[in-house]
Amino acid sequence: NTRYRIALIPGDGIGTEVLPPARAVLDAVGRRHGLSFGYDTFDWSCARYRAEGAMMPDDGLDRIRHHDAVLLGAVGWPGVPDHVSLWGLLIPIRRQFRQYVNLRPIKVLDGVPSPLAGATGDVDFVVVRENVEGEYSEIGGRLNRGFPDEMAVQEAVFTRPGVERVLDYAFTTARRRGGDLVSATKSNGIVHTMPFWDELVREAAGRFPEVAWRQEHIDALVAKVVLDPARFDVIVGSNLFGDILSDLAAAVAGSIGLAPAANLNPERAYPSMFEPVHGSAPDIAGQGTANPLGAIWSASMMLDHLGHPEAAAEVFDAFTSVLAMTGVRTRDLGGTASTEDFTRLILEAVTGSQPAGRRGLG
């Protein structure tokens, strides 16, 4: 029996509604595989900020540093500025734990129609997003507030080691998938950082001669993802480009409510963090109608990361079979099922499933 300690950070809004389903699924699949999970739940959130003046305690990161993984719901709530909630919790975890890869698989699943006519099951790609530097930098700020020459300045930071490591991860992923790689860029020299990114992509390509690759300008690329999503396999992009691409791609796959993400420290020197791509969804929070699949799929990616690909694939197979074989859907997918009802079906599918035979994750 292998035991793992998981740090749970439900956060705000529907973050608190989608983590219990993810946890229940982990426990159910764990029982079948001799895995047990011990959870420590942390109330770090906008509610905590309002009560105590900080999203997390000063030694917050030390409290989760030795966990095997972090499972996060979502943070952000109206009334607390997003820069407070994000710089106070999400971004420090990604950075301090060197989670420099944000891996976001995109699949059009059976029974989940894409809003794009013609996008079917052959849409299956991953976005590899640089997750700790780039456009999301702390250098800069607001100047001359309230004066006519008021301005905001922010320096994008692209370091050679920071870019090389995420590119190596992306090329390795493309090689493992037997697919090709597209680098999202804007290399016409207007954005200074991008010719440097391109140079490092060419160098990385030299280290992976067996991987076919090309670069596409981000503006043309987003159009192509809409027009022909099936032609992509691995897309690697900077922090901001990868962020935008991943919501676009999630919408192509039917709903942002089912998109998963893994914030990975590939060296495993620190815990990695698993979280749905979506946010706290204040517009539907408290109704019990959130789609838990983004969180459940993220938990499945956690199992994979912890070295249990069969358990991960069983979770994936359980929810894809519920989607393929029943008409039960949460509201974002056009149904009326509550989070709880939908989760119950997935739990039944996990408990009743045969050992995984089918192909699993991204």
List Cβ neighbours of 45 (8 Å cut-off, separation of 6 or more).
9, 10, 11, 12, 15, 55, 75, 77, 89
By CB under 6 A, what part of segment 217-246 binds ligand IPM?
A: 243
Q: Considering only 68-76, 145-153, 212-220, 262-270, which stretch makes contact with ligand NAD by CB under 6 A?
A: 68-76
Residue with Cβ nearer ligand IPM (76 or 360)? 76
Q: Catalytic: which of 49, 186, 233, 332? A: 186
Residue 216, contacted partner among ligand IPM, ligand NAD, Mn ion, none, CB below 5-8 A by kind:
none
By CB under 6 A, what part of segment 330-359 binds ligand IPM?
A: none
Residue with Cβ nearer ligand IPM (285 or 311)? 285
Q: CB of residue 128 vs ligand NAD: minimum separation in angstroms?
A: 17
Question: Active-site residue 243, yes or no?
Answer: yes
Q: CB of residue 277 vs ligand IPM: minimum separation in angstroms?
A: 6
Residue 281, contacted partner among Mn ion, ligand NAD, ligand IPM, none, CB below 5-8 A by kind:
ligand NAD
Under the binding rule (CB under 6 A), the answer on residue 257 touching ligand NAD is: yes
∠ CA 205-247-120 to the nearest 5 degrees? 80
Under the binding rule (CB under 6 A), the answer on residue 252 touching ligand NAD is: no
By CB under 6 A, what part of segment 264-303 binds ligand IPM?
A: 277, 279
Compute CA 181 distance to the chain's CA centroid, rounded to the nearest angstrom.
19
Under the binding rule (CB under 6 A), the answer on residue 256 touching ligand NAD is: yes
Q: Residues interacting with Mn ion, by CB under 5 A?
A: 243
Q: CB of residue 292 vs ligand NAD: minimum separation in angstroms?
A: 7
Total residues in contact with ligand IPM, by rule CB under 6 A: 5
Residue with Cβ nearer ligand IPM (86 or 191)? 86
Q: Catalytic: which of 233, 243, 317, 332? A: 243
Residue with Cβ nearer ligand NAD (113 or 282)? 282
Question: Active-site residue 136, yes or no?
Answer: yes
Binding mask 326-345 for ligand NAD (x = CB under 6 A): ------x-------------
List Cβ neighbours of 255 (8 Å cut-off, separation of 6 or more).
112, 291, 332, 333
Burial zone of 311 (CB within 10 Å; 0-12 exposed, 13-18 middle, 19+ buried): buried
Under the binding rule (CB under 6 A), the answer on residue 283 touching ligand NAD is: yes
Tell me which residues touch ligand IPM (CB under 6 A).
86, 90, 243, 277, 279
Give the residue numbers annotated as catalytic, written as ranges: 136, 186, 219, 243, 247
Tell me which residues touch ligand NAD (CB under 6 A).
14, 18, 74-76, 82, 90, 256-257, 275, 278-284, 290-291, 294, 332
